[in-house]
Amino acid sequence: MHDGRFETLEEVIEHYNSNVKISLSLDANMFKIKNGIGLNQNEKQDLINFLKTLTDEEFISGNQ
């Protein structure tokens, strides 16, 4: 995430799904889901697939 602790999108999803760690920098809205959002494996994969559709390959490669 912002501090580089996760290397993959899958790790980020799993963090929000079941491994939310309470900290001073945690958004107040996250306290409502401190036990995670509870996605099953199919839902996690669907979310990952959707988020990957938002990747702009032209922007990443500098070919704008």
> Residue 42 has what pLDDT?
97
HSE, CB side, 13 Å, CA atoms: give it for residue 41: 0
- Which residue has better confidence, 57 or 11? 11
- Whether the pLDDT of residue 64 is over 70: the answer is no
> Residue 1 has what pLDDT?
67
For tokens 């999803």, the residue is: 13
pLDDT tens figures, 13-45: 998 898 777 777 777 887 777 678 889 999 999
- Whether the pLDDT of residue 53 is over 80: the answer is yes
> What pTM does this model have?
0.69
**CA 39/CA 58 separation, integer angstroms:** 31
- Whether the pLDDT of residue 54 is over 70: the answer is yes
